Amino acid sequence: MPSRLSDAFRPHPIHDFTSLRELPDSYAWNQRDDGGYPSAAGEAFATESVPVVDLDDPNALQSIGHACRTWGVFQVTNHGIPTSLLDMVECTCRTLFSLPLHQKLKAARSPDGVSGYGFARISSFFSKLMWSEGFTVVGPPDEHFRQLWPHGYSNHCDVIKEYNEEMKKLAGTLMRLMLGSLGIVAKQDIKWAGPKGDFKEASAALQLNHYPACPDPDRAMGLAAHTDSTLLTILFQNNTSGLQVFKEGVGWVTVPPVPGRLVINVGDLMHILSNGSYDSILHRAMVNRTRHRLSLAYLYGPPSSVEISPHPKLVGPNHPPLYRPVTWNEYLHTKAKHFNEALSSVRVCVPLNGLIDVNEHNNSVTVG
């Protein structure tokens, strides 16, 4: 067992960074370290804010379409997720990350696995370390949770299962609205949406993130800038701000947590499915000097056997398909290899004499 754990974390020595009084150099980022995205004047005086859509509003479909075209991210209210469930899942997160490191490592993500405790996967693309820890849940959490809490894990399992079920329903609703705004009717136009158009066969991963209070937050990075490899992501953040989204021409815009709101990100697979009409949103998480922060990302995608490609309704003589078909597993691999170049690596090249695509394929991780 110990050799498996040290394998999982070989690239980054395991130490309890949460109790450090000073920021070690290995955690001190400068702008170049995070991809060098310009911090436009907007950052300090951001006048723009991420759209808010009331899901009970009869115009929700139009508002969501507009938000997806202009931002690639929006917040929702009246989403139907009970506050009590959000409180409970936050409590499970808090309890999990409060465990001593040696206990959390009993549920460490294995080198080739997707579920379990670990530091940011995308760390390998950066020379600096991120000020965060995470726990990924794919499928039932029971086995890992039993390692964490030998006694009394079942309540935490129930909370996660209920949260996943509620998220799945909400994700189905959001899919119908996001696609509806492109003229795509889920139950007619998307085979895997099923006869009721409820996307029952969809897959998902739940990512719990913890950003401890940090002695030097201006130089630290919670989670570096990335887009999600999903169709869409539903993000819950506790009462501490940290999420920022990048808007072209504006710069980094903070999405402050507001009770009752959830943040919806357009992911890379939605960008592909919409044939580029919706952009996936580049986002990152900053950290705080005095407060620790929790977030939960519900990463939503198609069933593992389904290939996502630009929808035929959005393709025509003047609108060639911009991307080749990919399954979620294949795309996750591409992301793990090419990180923020993953989308361009599945893009179709358009030479003068027709369409060809240039790609490497490989397959194996299973999310489902």
Ligand X SMILES: O=C(O)CCC(=O)C(=O)O
Residues marked as catalytic: 293
Within 42-61, which residues bind ligand J5X (CB under 6 A)? none
SS3 278: coil
Within 170-209, which residues bind ligand X (CB under 6 A)? 207, 209
Residue 364's Cβ-count burial label (10 Å; 0-12, 13-18, 19+) is: exposed
Task: Give one DSSP letter per residue of 151-216, joined into a string.
Answer: SS-HHHHHHHHHHHHHHHHHHHHHHHHHHHTTT--HHHH-GGGTTTT--TT-EEEEEEEEE---SS
297 is a site residue for ligand X (CB under 6 A): yes
Within 123-162, which residues bind ligand J5X (CB under 6 A)? 136
SS3 308: strand
Taking CB under 6 A as the criterion, the residue among 63, 136, 295, 327 binding ligand X is 295
Residue 297's Cβ-count burial label (10 Å; 0-12, 13-18, 19+) is: buried
268 is a site residue for Fe ion (CB under 5 A): no
Taking CB under 6 A as the criterion, the residue among 137, 148, 285, 287 binding ligand X is 285
- CB nearer to ligand J5X: give 227 or 274: 227
- The angle subtended at Cα 154 by Cα 134 and Cα 212, nearest 5°, is 25
93 is a site residue for ligand X (CB under 6 A): no
Taking CA atoms, 217 is separated from 134, 143, 194, 237, 298, in Å, by 18, 35, 46, 18, 26
Do 274 and 182 form a contact (C-beta atoms < 8 A)?
yes
DSSP state of 294: E
Taking CB under 6 A as the criterion, the residue among 99, 114, 250, 258 binding ligand J5X is 114
Tell me, residue by residue from 223 to 262, as one string, x for binding to Fe ion by CB under 5 A and - for no binding: -----x----------------------------------
68 is a site residue for ligand X (CB under 6 A): no
Residue 31 phi, psi dihedral angles, 5° rounding: -55, -40
Nearest to 295 by CA among 234, 253, 241, 236: 236
Within 199-228, which residues bind Fe ion (CB under 5 A)? 228
Number of residues that bind ligand J5X (CB under 6 A): 16
The residue whose Cβ lies closest to Fe ion is 228
SS3 103: helix
- CB nearer to Fe ion: give 207 or 309: 207
SS3 32: helix
Tell me, residue by residue from 219 to 258, as one string, x for binding to ligand J5X by CB under 6 A and - for no binding: -------x-xxx----------------------------
Q: Under 8 Å CB-to-CB from 160, ≥6 apart: which residues? A: 89, 92, 137, 141, 145, 206
Could you tell which of ligand J5X, Fe ion, ligand X, none binds residue 343, using a CB distance below 5 to 8 A set by kind? none
Interface with ligand J5X by CB under 6 A: which range of 114-122, 149-157, 189-197, 237-245? 114-122
Taking CB under 6 A as the criterion, the residue among 232, 299, 306, 322 binding ligand J5X is 299
In whole angstroms, give the CA distance from residue 206 to residue 235: 10
Q: Give the residues lining the site for ligand J5X (CB under 6 A).
A: 114, 120-122, 136, 205, 207, 226, 228-230, 297, 299, 332, 335, 367
Q: Give the residues lining the site for ligand X (CB under 6 A).
A: 207, 209, 223, 228, 235, 237, 242-243, 283, 285, 295, 297
Q: Give the residues lining the site for Fe ion (CB under 5 A).
A: 228
